[in-house]
Amino acid sequence: MSQSLSSSIEDYLEAILALTESGEPVRVTDVAKKLGIAKPSVTEAVRTLRDRGLVTQKPYGRIFLTAEGLMQSARVRKRHVVLRTFLQDVLGVNEEQAEIDACRIEHVVSTETMDKIVAFLEQDQTAGQQF
Amino acid sequence: MSQSLSSSIEDYLEAILALTESGEPVRVTDVAKKLGIAKPSVTEAVRTLRDRGLVTQKPYGRIFLTAEGLMQSARVRKRHVVLRTFLQDVLGVNEEQAEIDACRIEHVVSTETMDKIVAFLEQDQTAGQQF
DNA sequence: CAAAAATGTTAGTCACGCCTAACTATGATA
DNA sequence: TATCATAGTTAGGCGTGACTAACATTTTTG
């Protein structure tokens, strides 16, 4: 179950999570704006997410994360945050570029490497946060 | 000029560089074997590489890197090696996984972050090599 | 509450990157 | 040198993920 997600599907999930947390209902248009893509692309992606049980959406309705979708999107975001923190605080990459690189690396890096990065951050005082 | 290369094109370049260095003439079949894909996919990719001036190949002939292709493939491989070294020696990721992750990250990471990684390695005694 | 604006979907297209099947060319060898 | 194995290409197909144009549905508002 829960076969691995493509990069773009992970991006949709992450965007939907962020929008969900703003408290507002999540619309196709919002997702499209956030990701900088056209609305029909979102409609299509939402169908995929629905098929995988990650979101619910009635025709013309709002988008909601399922329990599974919430888990997955949180997982993706954790990777993102860990990577960005590592790039910024350990390597000294500037904020903007760290954000961009984290966005890309999060989709391809292994769980093992992520764990090692977390371990590195935990025993490193330059990084304030704990994971 | 030299617009950015897709992940798969970078993989082909890297494979062709490695085969070139073995001294043997580089054939479509060799590239296909090395990358674990079908021959027609290589034929097609080689056409793209030709169109971009990165390799030369006469019909049914061997594949040669141009000067530009040599530069580009060396650039890609340097990223790969730096990343693998970093993952292994700094983060302690095991050899096999470091190789896999380096393969993937090399295609998406920014020049700035690469530079920071090189800088990190240079002032770190656990990593023996210099870049 | 009817018209207009905003939102969402469908239909059709395209580029990429892979595949298999079938064909063509090359080169080794009997 | 004729044959046969090997190598390379062409043709056609498929999935992903984007796009635009056109249409359908809500929602807002005059």
| Nucleotide nearest B10, from its CA to each C1' | C17
Residue B109 is inside which H or E element, if any?
none
CB B53 within 8 A of CB B83: no
Q: Is the pLDDT of residue A125 over 80?
A: no
> Collapsing DSSP states into helix, strand and coil, what is residue A102?
helix
* Nucleotide at minimal C1' distance from the A38 CA: D19
Q: Which amino acid is at A93?
A: V
The separation between CA A72 and the C-alpha centre of its own chain, rounded to angstroms, equals 8
Model confidence at B1: pLDDT above 90: no
Which of A31-35, A123-127, B61-65 is predicted least confidently?
Answer: A123-127
pTM here?
0.92
Nearest-angstrom CA–CA distance, A120 and B103: 22
- For B104, the closest chain A residue by CA position comes to A108
B111 CB contacts (<8 Å, ≥6 apart)? none
Question: A95 at the B interface (CB within 8 A)?
Answer: no
Cβ contacts of B127 within 8 Å, gap of 6 or more: B85, B86, B89, B90, B121
- pLDDT tens digits along B103-125: 999 999 999 999 999 999 998 76
* Contacts A126 to B, Cβ<8 Å: none
Question: Touching check for B89 and chain A: CB below 8 Å?
Answer: no
Q: pLDDT of A49-91, one tens digit each?
A: 999 999 999 999 999 999 999 999 999 999 999 999 999 999 9
